[in-house]
C-alpha cells in the first residue's frame, strides 16, 4: 500500500492529481498514478495552456480541425473534450468501485464567464451535454455571479466542482447553493455529486506579504499559519452545514455531501515543508488535489493523521491575532478571488493566441 492509498483508507481523504496531459493519458502515466492511489483529476486553463503549448501530441488533431475551418476557440474546446473524455475512461474504474464517490475528472468553463451567471450556466450545461459521462465534474467559479449557476446545474441533476474559493463566508454561500440545488432537483439525487475547491497556499502568499509589511516579531511569527487556519475553519463549517434536519431530509432522497477539496496545496515559500498543506488538512470526506511534485513528496515523507479539525481553537486564535495586527482576511480573499479569475483568463487568452500562431505556421507550411 502506498502513502496515497493509506491517505484514503486511514485518513478518509481522497488524493487527486492536479494536472492533465495528453501524453500521460496515452502513454499510461495517468493509469500508473491511479495505481499509486490517485482517485481523481483536476484541470484548469493554466494546465491546458502548459499542455497544449508544450507538446506536439496535439498537433495532428489541431491541424485537422484548422483544416476543417474551425475557429481557434472551437479547436481548443474540441481538444479539451478529447482529453477529458479519454481521462474519464481511465478514471472510470475508480468511479465504479467507489460507488460514485471518486473517479472524477474536472473541466472548467471559460474563465471569461466568471462574472456572467447566464453564460456560466449555459456553458456548464453544454459541457455536460458534450461529455455525457457520470464521472465528469464541470468547474464553476465560486464567485457571487457563479452561485446561481451552481444552484441551477445541481438542480439539473448534474455534478459540479466549485472552484476559486478563498473565504469561509463565500464557502457558506456555496454550500447553500448546493443544498438549494438539491432541493430543487426533481430527479434522483444519488448521481448528483459536488466538491468545493478551497484554495490554500495563495492565502499564505498574500497574508505573509502583509505580515512582512507590518514587520513586528508578532507579525512575523504568524507567517505560514493563515492558510491552514482558514481551511480548518472551512472544514468545521462543512461539518456543521451537512448535519441537522434539512440535510437529513436530503440524505433520505439519496444526497451526497459536497466534499471540501483542498486546492493550491503546493508550497509557494521554499522555507515551508513541501507537504505543509497536506499534512495539516487531513480529515474524512475531504479531497486534496496536488501537482505531481507534492504527491511525490507526500509519498516520500507525508504523515497520515486526522489534522483538519484537531485544533480549531488554535485556528480561530490565529485569525484573531491576524485581525489584531490589522490583517483583513476578507480583503485578502476578495483580492485573491479577483487575481485568480484574472490569472485563469490570462492563461486562456495566451493559449488561444499561441494556437493562432501555430495555425498560421500550418498555413505557411501548406
Report the interhelical angle of 226-241 vs 312-324 (nearest 10°): 130
> How far is Cα 60 from Cα 147, in angstroms, rounded to an integer?
38
Q: Which three cell numbers stand for residue 86?
A: 479519454
Q: What is residue 40's DSSP assignment?
A: E
Report the interhelical angle of 59-67 vs 329-365 (nearest 10°): 70
Residue 268 appears among annotated catalytic residues: no
Q: How many CB atoms lie within 10 A of CB 109?
A: 25
* CA distances to 46, 55, 81 from 356, in Å: 17, 16, 19
> How far is Cα 167 from Cα 329, in angstroms, rounded to an integer?
8
Is the separation of the CB atoms in 328 and 210 below 8 Å?
A: no
Q: Which three cell numbers stand for residue 66?
A: 484548422
> How far is Cα 47 from Cα 78, in angstroms, rounded to an integer?
16
Give the residues across from 89 on adjacent strands.
none
Q: What is residue 109's DSSP assignment?
A: P
For 140, phi and psi rounded to 5 degrees? Answer: -120, 125
E strand spans, 159-285 = 160-165, 194-199, 259-263
Cα 182 → chain centroid: 21
Nearest to 179 by CA among 99, 261, 106, 245: 245
Counted residue by residue, the chain has a size of 366
> How far is Cα 47 from Cα 84, in angstroms, rounded to an integer?
12
Q: Which of 50, 139, 158, 268 is catalytic?
A: 139
The answer to whether the Cα torsion of 56, 58, 61, 63 is positive or negative is negative
Active site residues per annotation: 139
Amino acid at each position: 500500500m502506498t502513502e496515497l492509498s493509506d491517505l484514503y483508507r486511514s485518513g478518509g481523504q481522497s488524493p487527486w492529481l492536479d494536472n492533465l496531459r495528453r501524453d500521460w493519458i496515452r502513454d499510461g502515466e495517468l493509469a500508473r498514478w491511479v495505481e499509486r492511489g490517485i482517485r481523481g483529476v483536476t484541470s484548469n486553463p493554466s494546465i491546458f495552456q502548459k499542455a497544449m503549448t508544450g507538446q506536439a501530441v496535439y498537433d495532428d488533431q489541431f491541424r485537422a480541425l484548422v483544416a476543417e475551418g474551425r475557429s481557434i476557440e472551437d479547436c481548443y474546446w474540441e481538444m479539451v473534450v478529447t482529453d477529458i473524455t479519454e481521462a474519464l475512461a481511465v478514471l472510470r474504474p475508480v468511479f465504479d468501485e467507489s460507488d460514485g464517490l471518486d473517479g472524477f475528472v474536472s473541466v472548467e468553463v471559460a474563465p471569461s464567464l466568471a462574472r456572467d451567471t447566464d453564460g456560466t450556466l449555459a456553458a456548464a450545461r453544454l459541457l455536460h451535454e458534450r461529455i455525457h459521462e457520470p464521472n465528469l465534474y464541470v468547474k464553476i467559479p465560486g464567485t457571487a455571479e457563479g452561485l446561481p449557476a451552481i444552484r441551477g446545474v445541481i438542480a439539473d441533476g448534474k455534478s459540479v466542482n466549485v472552484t476559486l474559493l478563498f473565504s469561509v463566508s463565500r464557502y457558506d454561500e456555496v454550500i447553500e447553493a448546493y443544498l438549494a440545488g438539491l432541493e430543487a432537483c426533481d430527479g434522483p439525487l444519488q448521481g448528483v455529486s459536488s466538491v468545493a475547491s478551497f484554495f490554500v497556499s495563495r492565502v499564505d502568499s498574500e497574508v505573509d506579504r502583509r505580515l512582512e509589511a507590518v514587520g513586528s516579531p508578532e507579525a512575523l511569527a504568524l507567517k505560514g499559519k493563515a492558510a491552514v487556519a482558514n481551511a480548518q475553519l472551512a472544514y468545521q463549517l462543512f461539518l456543521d452545514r451537512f448535519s441537522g434536519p434539512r440535510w437529513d431530509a436530503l440524505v433520505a432522497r439519496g444526497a451526497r455531501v459536497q466534499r471540501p477539496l483542498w486546492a493550491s496545496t503546493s508550497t509557494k515559500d521554499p522555507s515551508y515543508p513541501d507537504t505543509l498543506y497536506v499534512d495539516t488538512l487531513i480529515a474524512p470526506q475531504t479531497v486534496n488535489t496536488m501537482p505531481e511534485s507534492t504527491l511525490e513528496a507526500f509519498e516520500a515523507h507525508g504523515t497520515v493523521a486526522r489534522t483538519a479539525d484537531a485544533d480549531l481553537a488554535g485556528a480561530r486564535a490565529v485569525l484573531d491575532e491576524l485581525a489584531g495586527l490589522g490583517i483583513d482576511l476578507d480583503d485578502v480573499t476578495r483580492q485573491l478571488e479577483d487575481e485568480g479569475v484574472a490569472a485563469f483568463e490570462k492563461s486562456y487568452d495566451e493559449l488561444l493566441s499561441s494556437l493562432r500562431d501555430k495555425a498560421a505556421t500550418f498555413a505557411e507550411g501548406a
